Copies of this chain bind each other. A is one copy, B any other.
Amino acid sequence: MGGDHGPPVVIPAVVRAIAALPEDVRFLLHGDEAVLAAALAKHRGAAARVDIRHAERVIAMDEKPAQALRRGKGTSMWNAVEAIREGEAGAAVSSGNTGAMVAISKLILRMTGDLERPALVTSIPTARSVTTFLDVGANIDCDAERLVEFAIMGEAYHRAAHGISKPTVGLLNVGSEEMKGHEEVREANRILREGKIDLDYRGFVEGDDITQGGVDVIVTDGFTGNVALKAMEGAAGFMIAELRSAFTSGLMATLGYMMARPALRKFRERLSPTPAAPLLGLNGIVVKCHGGASDRDFAMAIRLAADLARSDFSAEIERNMRRLPDALAEPAPAPTTESPLAQAPDIGGSAGAAQGASE
């Protein structure tokens, strides 16, 4: 029922997903039975693989997470997540209210092992393949332990989603030197460097590494991750608009465009962002789909959820989590006093300034 469009997008998405997924993948649709049944009736054949579960209420898009927790019981979102806990469903997909979804999922499913907070992960195309990037918005304030947890979750996710046996991991910072950045990233770097957690950790990476693909997984806090993701989406959108106007700036350019059109279409497809962000760290697969998603986007989110449900991604995370308390028990180095003067990284370049604090 969620997202900007509700059933008019979700039902056609389910129909698309049914066509793409094996026959043993079945669907529970939670929401207003009359609305869902009417929408489904237009798609012959789909009904055989779909059960409708009536829910009286829905979580509004502007509802606050605390409200959603108090009043959410019996809503379509609540029921969809509860179906995972009850073993009826292998995964839940929604394009509804993100904050409510995070809160409800955490309450009903609980976190895997000792993990404290879920993270939203996304996949960003690079020249080589894709970067797994997290957190893109579930956690605004993150200490070092949260960043280490994200590294564990992101690595397990990348392995499950892309079949790479030993993904490489980097920590997002303003420079690659050890003494760069704020205390949280430096402390997380120290823990990951120690190697008590079984990760192929490569140290600090910078903003431009997100699309360069030098490491498979890039970890950051939800504030920075959300801003960086939207900044890149904005830059890509701006470039495509500029490109379009360049191609219509004269007869030759327009002719050139016509000739290059099939190649350009592939270029655009390759750059289009993934519309789905799985919520990692829960005892169950929950995938958040973009609020304004099209039926094509939502079908992609469903396929991703189905793939994850059949992978051993949750087991992967648990295996690594067992090493976490040990790694965090290590004594921290003596605190350093930080000079406000000593925090200037280079702009745009690779060379950068050091933090005087580390002397």
Interface residues of A (CB under 8 A from B): 4, 61-67, 69, 97-103, 106-107, 116-117, 120, 122, 125-127, 136-141, 172, 174, 179, 181-182, 206-212, 220, 222-224, 226-239, 241-243, 246-247, 249-250, 252-253, 255-264, 266-267, 270-271, 273, 275, 277, 288, 290-292, 338-356, 358-359
Question: Which B residues are CB-close (under 8 A) to A262?
Answer: 252-253
Oligomeric state, in number of copies?
A: 2
Which 4 A-B pairs give the minimum distances between C-beta atoms?
Answer: A99-B353, A207-B230, A208-B234, A256-B260
CB-based contact B211/A238 at 8 Å = yes
CB-based contact B257/A270 at 8 Å = no
A140 vs chain B, min Cβ distance (A) = 4
Q: How far is the CA of A338 from the CA of B233 in the complex (A)?
A: 29
Q: How far is the CA of A258 from the CA of B256 in the complex (A)?
A: 7
CB-based contact B226/A211 at 8 Å = no
Q: How far is the CA of A88 from the CA of B206 in the complex (A)?
A: 38
Given known contacts A103-B339, A259-B259, what 10 new A-B pairs fall within 8 Å (CB)? A66-B359, A98-B347, A210-B235, A211-B237, A212-B238, A226-B347, A232-B235, A252-B263, A260-B260, A273-B348
Q: How far is the CA of A235 from the CA of B141 in the complex (A)?
A: 25
Residue from B120, B172, B237, B359 in contact with A347 in the complex, judged by beta carbons closer than 8 Å: B120
Question: Which B residues are CB-close (under 8 A) to A236?
Answer: 235, 239
Q: How far is the CA of A117 from the CA of B341 in the complex (A)?
A: 8
CB-based contact A359/B256 at 8 Å = no
CB-based contact B226/A223 at 8 Å = no
A262 vs chain B, min Cβ distance (A) = 7
CB-based contact A348/B224 at 8 Å = no
Residue from B137, B250, B291 in contact with A174 in the complex, judged by beta carbons closer than 8 Å: B137
CB-based contact B230/A208 at 8 Å = yes
CB-based contact B120/A344 at 8 Å = yes
Q: How far is the CA of A61 from the CA of B352 in the complex (A)?
A: 8
Taking A99-B342, A207-B230 as contacts, is the C-beta distance between A353 and B235 under 8 angstroms?
Answer: no
CB-based contact B266/A259 at 8 Å = no
CB-based contact A242/B255 at 8 Å = no
A222 vs chain B, min Cβ distance (A) = 7
CB-based contact A341/B102 at 8 Å = yes
A138 vs chain B, min Cβ distance (A) = 5
Name the residue among A63, A224, A249 with the largest chain B CB count within 10 angstroms: A224
In the complex, residue of chain B having the shortest beta-carbon distance to the beta carbon of A349: B291
CB-based contact A223/B181 at 8 Å = yes
Q: How far is the CA of A226 from the CA of B122 in the complex (A)?
A: 21
Q: How far is the CA of A97 from the CA of B354 in the complex (A)?
A: 9
Sample 5 A-B pairs with CB under 8 A, ordered by A number.
A65-B341, A97-B353, A211-B235, A246-B263, A290-B349
Residue from B64, B292, B340 in contact with A139 in the complex, judged by beta carbons closer than 8 Å: B340
Q: How far is the CA of A231 from the CA of B182 in the complex (A)?
A: 18
Q: How far is the CA of A101 from the CA of B271 in the complex (A)?
A: 38
Taking A141-B343, A256-B258, A263-B246 as contacts, is the C-beta distance between A356 and B231 under 8 angstroms?
Answer: no
Q: How far is the CA of A102 from the CA of B355 in the complex (A)?
A: 12
Question: Which B residues are CB-close (under 8 A) to A97?
Answer: 351, 353
CB-based contact A339/B65 at 8 Å = yes
Q: How far is the CA of A44 from the CA of B63 in the complex (A)?
A: 70
Taking A137-B345, A207-B229, A351-B4 as contacts, is the C-beta distance between A358 and B64 under 8 angstroms?
Answer: yes
Q: How far is the CA of A327 from the CA of B22 in the complex (A)?
A: 62
